[in-house]
Structure 1
Amino acid sequence: MLTMLLLVILAALVFEFINGFHDTANSIATVVATKVLTPTQAVMLAAATNLVGAFSGTAVAKTISSGLVDTGLVTVSSEVLICALTGAIIWNLITWALGLPSSSSHALIGGLCGAALAAGHNNVDVLIWSKTAAVWTENKGILWKVVIPMVSSPIAGFTLGILIMGGLMAIISGMNSAGGILARMARPKWVNAIFGKAQLLSAGYMGFAHGSNDAQKTMGIIALAIFSANSAGTLDQLPNWAEFLRPNGGEKDIDTWIIFTCALVMALGTSVGGWRIIKTLGHKMVKLHPINGFAAETSSATILLTAAHFGMPVSTTHSISTAIMGVGFAKNPHALKLTIIERIIWAWVLTIPAAGGLAWGMVNLLFLLH
């Protein structure tokens, strides 16, 4: 039914909006925490760079729409997708209320997998675990696109944060040792001034990278809904006002209106409620200065763009949080506040099973009601 398809799209955009104030807040946390930009200025920068980043590719969207669930074994109906999105939304709202930067990406993946598993009557084969290709970068499935990136991206974020921050500290130390004008430029006042400007670039880089990865995930859900509806014949007799729903390309193409709409909705969500999580990332984990923010954003954005290139829907939350941890560790291993980090890690560990369990339960409830 067309109505159900429209409800899926609406639910997906609600998720994207919540993703905006939940995850995009993570992408601008450091530039706000270092006081380089005000929250309003950071939101405007994030909105603009997210929009540009969202148009930079569709590899992640294609992974979500066709790389995790075998649609040949299970019908991913509109009802199933609504349950998937609802599970992800509920978990996002719970973690947002608690101020925990858990991953919207993993909530969405968990919701999709949980709902598909229930729709397939718990047949685990409906989930694509691993499909290898001639080139490893073209491998598909949960193992290659979710599990491995989920483990490796936090490690990479932490390591890259240490390396970049350590490198910058070594350069400043060398300038101090050199004396003269170099030593004067290495003073905190000059360092803060220079990296205050540099962080504008790194924040834009972070926003672009976030758009290139995170905005695509909801695009994939909407594309999956449209492909499924098209296969079921729902789009055969569309009214004129709904013609935009008809796919313009093949089953792996993401239409421009989907890209543009998701990017705009995410940007709108950014402006609404991200400050709670910004405080956790930017203030509670470790005290940040502009040079630290620059190092963390550069580390995180590099990971996000690399993952997006290979179609891996990694977590912005994981990458920026662990990059901040790495930067803090490079400054002073004792500066990290382990209690906050422990709460964040628990939120990470629980996200996929929690969102998946919620979605699984809702699909089974639908079966009972039918």
Structure 2
Amino acid sequence: MLTNIAILLGLFFAMNIGGSGAAASMGISYGSGVVKKGLGLLLCSIAVFLGAWLGGGEVVKTMGSGIVPESTFTVQIALIVVASAALSLFLANIFGIPLSTSEVAVGSVVGAGLVYQSVFVGKLLWIMSFWLLTPIIAFVLAIFASSFLKNKRVKNWVESRRAIPILSVMVVVMGLFEAFSAGMNNVANAVGPLVGAGILSSGDGIFWGGLFVAFGVVLFGRRVVETNGKKITKLRLEEGCIISGTGATIVVLASLLGIPVPLTQITTSSIIGIGYAKDGLKVLKKDIVVRMLTIWIVSPVLSMILTYTLIQLMIEQNVYPIIAMAGVAISLFGVLFLMKGNNSQLKVQQETVKIK
């Protein structure tokens, strides 16, 4: 019974990954009018499945046995790990908080490892270094690519009529490349713990996980493509090629190394890099940087705490760590409340001085 529930939950999680993350890869192609929505989603689903099937094995190994030993995973723990990751994303969607699927999944696995003190700390730090470095690399590469487009000859060719058909094909190809990379990297988030627990073999996990990510693209991706393609910002075809190509290349290389990385943050960094090349420092708004760092921290911590709490309560039946965590949370909120009160009082005093 628990095994079947774990498989169903993992596959449902895979569908949501396809609908939210993978489908976004065709947003630029659809938004620029190069492909229709239905065709774009169909092509994306094929690319996602091929990415998972052909190249998802290394990241699945990492999620199943690279962060914590396989012995940590039982059917019950794998169920809780997948459920915590899915619930974290669900809660984030309700409150409108953008979280990284890869970071949430890794945090959930780490939460299980903390209960049994079995986390491979060196591997975890290696993964976290990629989370920090890959957006920076994407930002720098986008600047260099944008600078190349400013070359007079290149600029004249891009603006000529004969460039439009070539760029139209390129932006679709790069979008599919990005979808392929998403399949390579993200399928492990849903099935890695199931493979680690021996519920699914690596081959079955990759096949069924990839298939359900692809289903998710077709079933749930219409709204995401609409938002990314037409409701956020307008991008030129050549800029779309840079964004998709840069993000996909980085994610594919990370996948070959078995590192789960946040595709959304990498793509966002590429967009910021293009903006920096055009408008300079004013595009580097403090709130954008703070928002990305906040997501980087909140995504894994939220799922980690949730997994840790559920395992302690449901499997270990140990309430003492939960009481300690609740005490820390209450203390933290209390300090923040007092700081807010002091700031408000200080503002009132300053206004009073001004009036006098």
Query: Would the TM-score normalized by the shorter structure come out above 0.5?
Result: yes
Q: Percent identity of the aligned residues? A: 24
Task: Report deviation, 1:19.
Answer: 1.1
Contact 2:64 2:70 in 1 (8 A): no
Contact 1:61 1:220 in 2 (8 A): yes
Amino acid at match of 1:196: S
| Higher helix content, 1 or 2 | 2
Tell me the equivalent position of 1:28. 26
Tell me the equivalent position of 1:174. 153
Tell me the equivalent position of 1:67. 66
Tell me the equivalent position of 1:217. 189
Q: 2:129 & 2:18 partners in 1: Cα distance? A: 25
Q: 1:129 & 1:26 partners in 2: Cα distance? A: 32
Tell me the equivalent position of 1:207. 179
Deviates further, 18-27 or 279-288 = 279-288
Contact 2:70 2:196 in 1 (8 A): no
Change in Cα spacing, 1:330 to 1:100, as seen in structure 2 (3 Å) is farther
Change in Cα spacing, 1:292 to 1:271, as seen in structure 2 (3 Å) is same
Change in Cα spacing, 1:343 to 1:282, as seen in structure 2 (3 Å) is farther
Describe the superposition over 1:274-294 as per-residue Cα deviations: whole angstroms up to 9, x where unpaired. Answer: 455556655676531211111
The equivalent position to 2:52 in structure 1, one of 47, 51, 54, is 54
Change in Cα spacing, 1:329 to 1:274, as seen in structure 2 (3 Å) is farther
Change in Cα spacing, 1:280 to 1:153, as seen in structure 2 (3 Å) is farther
Describe the superposition over 1:65-111 as per-residue Cα deviations: whole angstroms up to 9, x where unpaired. Answer: 11100345xx4222212221122112212333455542111111111
Task: Report deviation, 1:306.
Answer: 0.6
Does residue 41 (structure 1) correspond to residue 39 (structure 2)? The answer is yes
Contact 2:78 2:197 in 1 (8 A): yes
Q: 1:164 & 1:82 partners in 2: Cα distance? A: 44
The equivalent position to 1:362 in structure 2, one of 288, 310, 319, is 310
SS at the partner of 1:368? coil
Change in Cα spacing, 1:359 to 1:165, as seen in structure 2 (3 Å) is same
Change in Cα spacing, 1:324 to 1:98, as seen in structure 2 (3 Å) is farther
SS at the partner of 2:54? coil
Task: Report deviation, 1:52.
Answer: 1.2
Amino acid at match of 2:166: I
Q: How many residues align?
A: 316
Tell me the equivalent position of 2:329. none
Q: 1:343 & 1:36 partners in 2: Cα distance? A: 32
Contact 1:49 1:207 in 2 (8 A): yes
Tell me the equivalent position of 1:5. 3
Structure (1 or 2) with the larger CA radius of gyration: 2
Amino acid at match of 1:152: L
SS at the partner of 1:41? helix
Deviates further, 339-348 or 357-366 = 339-348
Instruction: Output aligned runs, 1:255-334, within 5 Å.
Output: 255=203, 257-274=204-221, 277-278=224-225, 286-333=233-280, 334=282
Q: TM-score, normalised by structure 2?
A: 0.80
Contact 1:63 1:312 in 2 (8 A): yes
Change in Cα spacing, 1:313 to 1:103, as seen in structure 2 (3 Å) is same
Contact 1:192 1:289 in 2 (8 A): no
Amino acid at match of 2:306: L
Contact 1:158 1:323 in 2 (8 A): yes
Tell me the equivalent position of 1:128. 120
Change in Cα spacing, 1:65 to 1:93, as seen in structure 2 (3 Å) is same
Contact 1:107 1:352 in 2 (8 A): yes
Does residue 106 (structure 1) correspond to residue 103 (structure 2)? The answer is yes
Task: Report deviation, 1:26.
Answer: 3.2
SS at the partner of 1:312? coil
Change in Cα spacing, 1:39 to 1:344, as seen in structure 2 (3 Å) is farther
Q: TM-score, normalised by structure 1?
A: 0.77
Deviates further, 97-106 or 155-164 = 97-106
Change in Cα spacing, 1:344 to 1:273, as seen in structure 2 (3 Å) is farther
Task: Report deviation, 1:34.
Answer: 3.0
Amino acid at match of 1:206: E
Deviates further, 359-368 or 339-348 = 339-348
Change in Cα spacing, 1:99 to 1:48, as seen in structure 2 (3 Å) is farther
SS at the partner of 1:69? coil
Change in Cα spacing, 1:162 to 1:189, as seen in structure 2 (3 Å) is same
Describe the superposition over 1:23-50 as per-residue Cα deviations: whole angstroms up to 9, x where unpaired. Answer: 1133233323333333322211110111
Describe the superposition over 1:141-190 as per-residue Cα deviations: whole angstroms up to 9, x where unpaired. Answer: 1112x2111111111111122222222232xx2256xxxxxx4x442655
Change in Cα spacing, 1:196 to 1:99, as seen in structure 2 (3 Å) is farther
Amino acid at match of 2:153: G
Contact 1:26 1:101 in 2 (8 A): no
